[in-house]
């Protein structure tokens, strides 16, 4: 059974159709890249999978391990293993990152009927992961993303991915606003999380990121549809030719 | 902390029509006849075996009250109160005087347990009397002077406080045992003529706490009182008086919850604080009176006068409040900065949901030289509620070098509620420096979704974001209260979104 199956998905925002029958199948262990010009609906797809309010699904379905994802509340989707790394992670003033991590992790575990982490186990786990991501401990004491640099915010997303151990990670424009060094640290973090049980969907406008996170399958999106899929060489091809050809095809 | 945690969890399990603390205790009570007259005042005074001077004081207040009218300037709206349709005194029938917790009516103890008041836990953890040799200085102690309806039914830790010379007792007892102190200070901060509700309180006050900390003494534990309304139609008129003599320090915690009601209940407390030279008083409140049902029916009317007098040089008074309950809140804990270099602080979290109306804030009256004050107010409005911050900062002609910093932040949840900021500033000398900052924001959908995507429910997400918003104030609370307050904040916002 596929991990994620998006079938003929049609989505409207404020009476306007944004996705017009989108198909996508992702299996465990695979890394997919979704590329496409600005406004083609990449973020919309990621939001609908995660359950962000404000989108109206007018047709099609999304199955997660065969279960109807659209019937689940967004927090339940998270507990089931859907993780969305945001393009612009928000700031939550006054809520220490450590508190946030712990609250979220325990909420997910509770929803799955698992026991909450003990404080020492939790601290041990956070320390390990944050060390590998080059996240200093004092950053964890600060408010969630408050005053974090672009790179720190993205590393904080990867840190959460590592802690929550989701089976589907969707990364929306992880490279935006990062310089090469910051991008490398974040990408290394993501690669370290790659496993045969976990799938990644990497959304990006640029080919650059895919030098660091190498996809098995590349999809090209245009005007609310997947218009072409292929191997990793498709990304290089796009880099050379641009998106113009697909704009016409769509 | 585990004790507090446990009791809070227990309270959370009690679920009566949203309001988690709504229940009644079946005990006999001893009531004054309905209505207010000189007879009622005399009845109350007699019940309490008060000396003649106290009755006289009450009667003068009552006569004054007859000439006054209810204030209407606050942004609150409620049907006219029929003061003749209320009871002004109600006491659990006393069996005998109490020396240990075991002698308290088990029904009453059960109520406290349901409320999550760590009376039993405190007794168990600390022993009613600490055993010799077992004294762990790291363990914080809370002395609980429990007020049930109008009469204090239990006082713990008396022995240890006595050793330190601290007087902590129901004010009704202090009137008999320390008349010289009560006569000297009662009404010296909030005079009987102060305002409609304070004057009413002066005539009919039922009970409350009395604290006196002698010169140079640092009170060895947090003092705490829990209030509770239990009789239908019983007006609650608590009276608290705290005096910190020269160079002393005391931290006082007050927490309230009330059972569910159909009729509105009037609560008009008066709290007076006096800080002498180099003394410091920290007064913390968590207020969670019944706010009314989902249609805005019922709920407590909370008209409170709280005022601190920094009477001595270098004295300090700090108010911290977490206001989550009541249908109507009318409350302005204030500081009179009389002594030179004295300091006043006001930290407030005021949450309104449903049809609640909050009009709260503070007054900082700078009279002495180089006096400073700080106001941090966090208002959170949800549902169809109205939340107003009303503040006054004044510097007298002689208050040279007075300084104030005010920050008022409001957070709106949903679009049917309102937040309002009404600051008054008056500087009568040019050397005063007043700074005022105010922000109003809406809770961000993107922030909520971020939390929910990470596994939090909608309500948990709101609770988390709001707790972050109020963190600066929560930090001012003693640890025991901070945990409880944090839970309360989340509970009181349940059902506010979505
Ligand atoms: N909340 C919204 N309201 C109105 N239009 C939206 C909203 N979100 C996205 N859109 C529109 O949907 C289209 C796809 O946007 P998006 O999914 O963000 O594309 P991408 O991520 O590929 O750049 C764009 O035309 C955008 O303007
Ligand atoms: Mg996008």
The residues near B336 (Cβ < 8 Å, ≥ 6 apart) are: B189, B307, B308, B309, B310, B365, B367
Q: Which residues of A touch B465 (CB under 8 A)?
A: 92, 95
Residues 6+ apart with CB under 8 A from A163: A101, A105, A125, A126, A129
Sites in chain A below the pLDDT cut of 50: 250
| Nearest to A75, CA basis, from B445, B468, B459 | B459
- The total of other beta-carbon atoms located within 10 Å of residue A244's CB is 9
Give the residue from A49, A92, A116, A159 with the most B CB atoms within 10 Å of its CB, the best one to mutate.
Answer: A92
Contacts of B415 (CB under 8 A, 6+ apart): B442
pLDDT at residue number A176: 85
Q: Which residues pair with B225 in a beta bridge?
A: B254
Tell me which chain B residue has its CA closest to the CA of residue A48: B453
Q: How far is CA B69 from CA A37, B196, B200, B261, in A?
A: 70, 7, 11, 27
Which of B450, B456, B460 lies nearest to residue A86, judging by beta carbons? B450
Protein residue with least CA distance to atom 18, ligand 1: A43
Q: Does A2 touch chain B (CB under 8 A)?
A: no
Give the residue, out of A41, A52, A222, with the most ligand 1 atoms within 8 A of its beta carbon, to mutate for a pocket test. A41
Is A41's C-beta closer than 6 angstroms to any atom of ligand 1?
yes
Taking only residues 61 to 80 of chain B, the set having a beta carbon closer than 8 angstroms to any beta carbon of chain A reads none
| Global ipTM | 0.96
pLDDT reported for residue B83: 84
Chain B residue closest in CA terms to A144: B468
- Residues in Cβ contact with B66 at an 8 Å cutoff, skipping those fewer than 6 apart: none
Cα–Cα dist A184/A31, whole Å: 17
Mutate which: B378, B407, B455, B498, vs A, most A CBs within 10 A? B455
State how far residue B389 is from chain A, nearest Cα, in angstroms: 21
Q: Which residues contact B135 (CB under 8 A, 6 or more apart)?
A: none
- Residue B144 Cα distances to B7, B131, B136, B284, angstroms: 15, 18, 19, 14
Determine contact: A108 vs chain B, CB below 8 A: yes
* Cβ-nearest to B455 among A53, A54, A75: A75
Measuring CA to CA, which residue among B390, B392, B394 is closest to residue B368?
A: B394
Rg of chain B, C-alpha, whole Å:
22
Give the strand pairing for B357-366 and B239-244.
unpaired
Range list of H helices, A112-232: 119-132, 137-141, 150-164, 180-192
Q: Which residues of A46-67 are buried (b: 16+ CB within 10 A; e: fewer)?
A: bbbbbbbeebeeeebebbbeee
CB-based contacts of A108: which residues, under 8 Å, 6+ apart?
A78, A79, A164, B454, B455
Nearest to A95 among B455, B467, B472 (CB): B467
Residue B469 touches chain A, beta carbons under 8 Å: yes
Print the domain residue range for A228. Answer: 4-249
Residue-wise burial string across B100-111, b where 16 or more C-beta atoms lie within 10 A, e elsewhere: ebeebbeebbeb
Backbone phi, psi, residue A162, to 5°: -65, -40
Q: What is the DSSP letter of B275?
A: E
Among A50, A53, A93, whose Cβ lies nearest the Cβ of B468?
A93
Chain B residues whose CB is inside 8 A of the A158 CB are none
Q: Are B253 and B284 in contact (CB under 8 A)?
A: yes
Asked if the Cβ–Cβ distance from B465 to A92 is below 8 Å, we say yes
* A38 in contact with ligand 1, CB cutoff 6 A: yes
Closest CA relative to residue A148, chosen from A93, A212, A105: A93
Cβ pair B343, B375 in contact under 8 A: no
Let me know: does B327 contact B291? Beta carbons within 8 Å.
yes
Ligand nearest to the CA of A14: 1
> Which residues of chain A lie closer than 8 angstroms to B460, CB-CB?
103, 107
Give the pLDDT score at B149: 44
Q: Which of A35, A43, A176, A224 to mutate to test the pocket of ligand 1 (most atoms within 8 A of CB)?
A: A43
Q: What phi and psi, each to the nearest 5 degrees, are found at residue B410?
A: -120, 140
A222, containing H or E segment: strand A217-222
Q: Which sign, positive or negative, has the C-alpha torsion B115, B117, B119, B122?
A: positive
Instruction: Give the helix ranges, DSSP H, for B156-254.
Output: 158-164, 171-177, 179-185, 196-204
A118 lines ligand 1 (CB under 6 A): no
Q: CA nearest A161 in B: which residue?
A: B454
Predicted confidence at residue B234, as pLDDT, reads 40
Nearest residue in A to B472, CA atom: A94
Among A10, A18, A170, A219, the mutation site with the greatest number of ligand 1 atoms within 8 A of its Cβ is A18
User: What is d(CA B365, CA A19) in angstroms, rounded to the nearest whole number?
Assistant: 62
Q: What's chain A's Rg over C-alpha atoms?
A: 18
Q: B36 φ, ψ to 5°?
A: -125, 125
B465 contact partners, CB below 8 Å, separation of at least 6: A92, A95, B443, B447, B448, B451
Distance, CA of B93 to CA of A195 (rounded, Å): 71
pLDDT at B12: 38
Whether this model's pTM surpasses 0.90: no
Cα A111 to middle of ligand 1, angstroms: 31
Contacts of A165 (CB under 8 A, 6+ apart): A81, A198
Rounded Cα gap, residues A114 and A214, in angstroms: 34
Please tell me the distance from the alpha carbon of residue A229 to that of residue A25, in angstroms, as a whole number. Answer: 11
Q: Give residue A44 CA to ligand 1 midpoint distance, Å.
A: 6
Instruction: Tell me the H-state helices in B318-358.
Output: none
Do B470 and A100 make contact, defined as CB atoms within 8 angstroms?
no
* Distances B50 to B82, B242, B408 between C-alpha atoms, Å: 28, 20, 44
* Partner residue facing B468 (CB), from A92, A104, A108: A92
Predicted confidence at residue B300, as pLDDT, reads 84
* Nearest bound ligand to the CA of residue A55: 1
- How far are the Cα atoms of A20, A117, B32, B33, B165 from residue B88, in angstroms, in the given order? 70, 52, 6, 8, 34
Domain total for chain A? 1
Residues recorded for chain B: 498
For B421, half-sphere exposure in the C-beta direction (CA atoms, 13 angstrom radius) is 19
Span A137-156, pLDDT tens digits: 888 999 999 999 888 899 99
* Residue B75: predicted pLDDT: 86
**pLDDT per residue as tens, chain B (498 positions):** 233 343 334 333 333 334 445 555 555 556 777 788 998 899 889 888 899 999 999 999 999 999 999 888 888 888 888 888 877 877 655 444 445 556 556 665 665 555 555 554 434 333 333 334 434 333 345 555 555 544 444 445 666 788 899 998 888 889 999 999 999 999 999 999 999 999 999 999 988 889 999 999 999 878 875 544 443 334 578 899 999 999 999 999 887 544 445 455 788 999 999 999 999 999 998 887 778 777 777 788 889 999 999 999 999 999 999 988 888 889 999 999 999 999 999 999 999 988 889 999 999 999 999 999 999 999 999 989 999 999 999 999 999 999 999 999 999 998 899 999 999 999 899 999 999 999 999 999 999 999 999 999 998 999 899 999 999 898 888 776 777 777 778 777 776 765
Q: CA–CA separation, B386 vs B42, rounded Å?
A: 39
B449: closest CA of chain A, how far (Å) = 7
In chain A, what residues touch B456 (CB-CB under 8 Å)? 75, 103-104, 107
The set of long-range contacts for B100-103, using a CB threshold of 8 Å and a minimum separation of 24, is: B100/B128, B101/B128, B101/B154, B101/B156
**Ligand in nearest proximity to the CA of A49:** 1
Q: What is the chain B residue with the closest CA to A160?
A: B454
DSSP conformation class of B109: H
Of the candidates A51, A36, A22, the one whose C-alpha atom is nearest the C-alpha of residue A168 is A51
Q: Which of B440, B378, B432 is nearest to B405 (CA)?
A: B432
Using CA atoms in the order B486, B487, B493, B495, what is the torsion angle rounded to 10 degrees? 150
Nearest CA to ligand 1 atom 10: A13
* A18 Cβ closer than 6 Å to some ligand 1 atom: yes
SS3 state at A218: strand
How far, in Å, CA of A188 to CA of B208, rounded? Answer: 63
H or E element, residue B485? helix B479-492
CATH label of the domain that carries residue A216: 3.40.50.300
Q: Is the CB of A40 under 6 A from ligand 1?
A: yes
State whether B468 and A94 contact (CB < 8 Å): yes
- Note the ligand closest to the C-alpha atom of A45: 1
């Amino acid at each position: 059974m596929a991990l994620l199956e998006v079938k003929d998905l049609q989505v409207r925002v404020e009476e306007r159709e944004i996705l017009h029958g989108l198909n996508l199948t992702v299996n465990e262990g695979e890394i997919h890249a979704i590329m496409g010009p600005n406004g083609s609906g990449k973020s919309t797809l990621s939001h609908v999978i995660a359950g962000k309010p404000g989108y109206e699904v007018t047709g099609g379905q999304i199955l997660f391990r065969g279960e109807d994802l659209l019937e689940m509340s967004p927090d339940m989707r998270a507990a089931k293993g859907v993780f969305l790394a945001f393009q612009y992670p928000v700031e939550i003033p006054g809520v220490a990152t450590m508190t946030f991590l712990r609250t979220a992790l325990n909420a997910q575990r509770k929803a799955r009927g698992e026991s909450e982490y003990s404080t020492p186990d939790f601290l041990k786990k956070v320390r390990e992961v944050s060390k590998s991501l080059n996240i200093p401990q004092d950053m964890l004491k600060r408010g969630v993303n408050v005053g974090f640099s672009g790179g720190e915010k993205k590393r904080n997303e990867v840190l959460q991915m590592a802690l929550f151990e989701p089976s589907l990670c969707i990364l929306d424009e992880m490279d935006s606003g990062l310089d090469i060094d910051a991008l490398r640290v974040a990408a290394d973090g993501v690669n370290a999380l790659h496993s045969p049980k976990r799938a990644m969907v990497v959304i990006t406008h640029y080919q650059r990121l895919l030098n660091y996170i190498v996809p098995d399958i590349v999809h090209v999106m245009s005007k609310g549809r997947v218009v072409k899929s292929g191997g990793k060489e498709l990304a290089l091809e796009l880099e050379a030719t641009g998106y113009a050809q697909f704009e016409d095809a769509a | 902390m585990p004790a507090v945690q446990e009791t809070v969890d227990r309270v959370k399990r009690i679920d009566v029509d949203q309001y988690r603390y709504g229940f009644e205790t079946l005990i006999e009570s001893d009531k004054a006849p309905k209505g207010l007259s000189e007879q009622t005042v005399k009845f109350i005074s007699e019940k309490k075996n008060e000396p003649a001077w106290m009755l006289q004081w009450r009667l003068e207040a009552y006569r004054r009250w007859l000439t006054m009218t209810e204030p209407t300037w606050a942004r609150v709206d409620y049907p006219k109160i029929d003061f003749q349709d209320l009871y002004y005194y109600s006491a659990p029938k006393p069996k005998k005087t109490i020396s240990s917790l075991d002698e308290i009516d088990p029904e009453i103890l059960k109520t406290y347990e349901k409320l999550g008041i760590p009376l039993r836990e405190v007794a168990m953890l600390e022993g009613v009397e600490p055993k010799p040799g077992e004294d762990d200085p790291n363990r914080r102690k809370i002395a609980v002077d429990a007020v049930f309806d109008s009469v204090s039914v239990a006082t713990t830790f008396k022995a240890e406080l006595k050793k330190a010379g601290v007087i902590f007792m129901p004010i009704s007892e202090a009137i008999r045992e320390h008349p010289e102190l009560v006569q000297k200070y009662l009404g010296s901060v909030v005079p009987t003529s102060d305002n409609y509700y304070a004057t009413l309180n002066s005539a009919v006050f039922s009970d409350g706490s009395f604290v006196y900390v002698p010169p140079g003494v640092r009170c060895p534990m947090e003092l705490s009182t829990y209030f509770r309304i239990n009789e239908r139609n019983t007006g609650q008129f608590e009276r608290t008086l705290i005096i910190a003599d020269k160079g002393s320090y005391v931290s006082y915690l007050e927490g309230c919850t009330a059972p569910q009601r159909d009729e509105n209940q009037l609560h008009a407390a008066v709290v007076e604080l006096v800080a002498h030279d180099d003394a410091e008083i920290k007064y913390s409140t968590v207020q969670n009176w019944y706010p009314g049902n989902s249609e805005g029916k019922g709920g407590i009317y909370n008209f409170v006068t709280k005022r601190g007098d920094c009477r001595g040089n270098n004295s300090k008074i700090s108010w911290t409040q977490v206001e989550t309950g009541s249908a109507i809140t009318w409350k302005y804990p204030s500081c009179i900065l009389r002594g030179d270099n004295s300091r006043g602080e006001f930290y407030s979290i005021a949450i309104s949901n449903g049809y609640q109306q909050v009009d709260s804030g503070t007054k900082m009256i700078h009279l002495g030289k180089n006096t400073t004050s700080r106001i941090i107010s966090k208002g959170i409005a949800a549902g169809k509620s109205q939340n107003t911050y009303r503040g006054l900062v004044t510097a007298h002609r002689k208050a040279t070098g007075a300084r104030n910093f005010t920050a008022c932040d409001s957070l709106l949840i949903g679009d049917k509620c309102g937040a309002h900021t009404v600051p008054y500033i008056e500087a009568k000398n040019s050397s005063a420096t007043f700074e005022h900052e105010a922000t109003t924001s809406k809770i961000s959908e993107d922030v909520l979704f971020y939390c929910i995507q990470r596994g939090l429910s909608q309500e948990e997400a709101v609770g988390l974001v709001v707790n972050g918003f109020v963190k600066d104030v929560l930090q001012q609370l003693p640890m025991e209260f901070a945990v409880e307050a944090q839970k309360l904040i989340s509970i009181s916002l349940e059902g506010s979104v979505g």
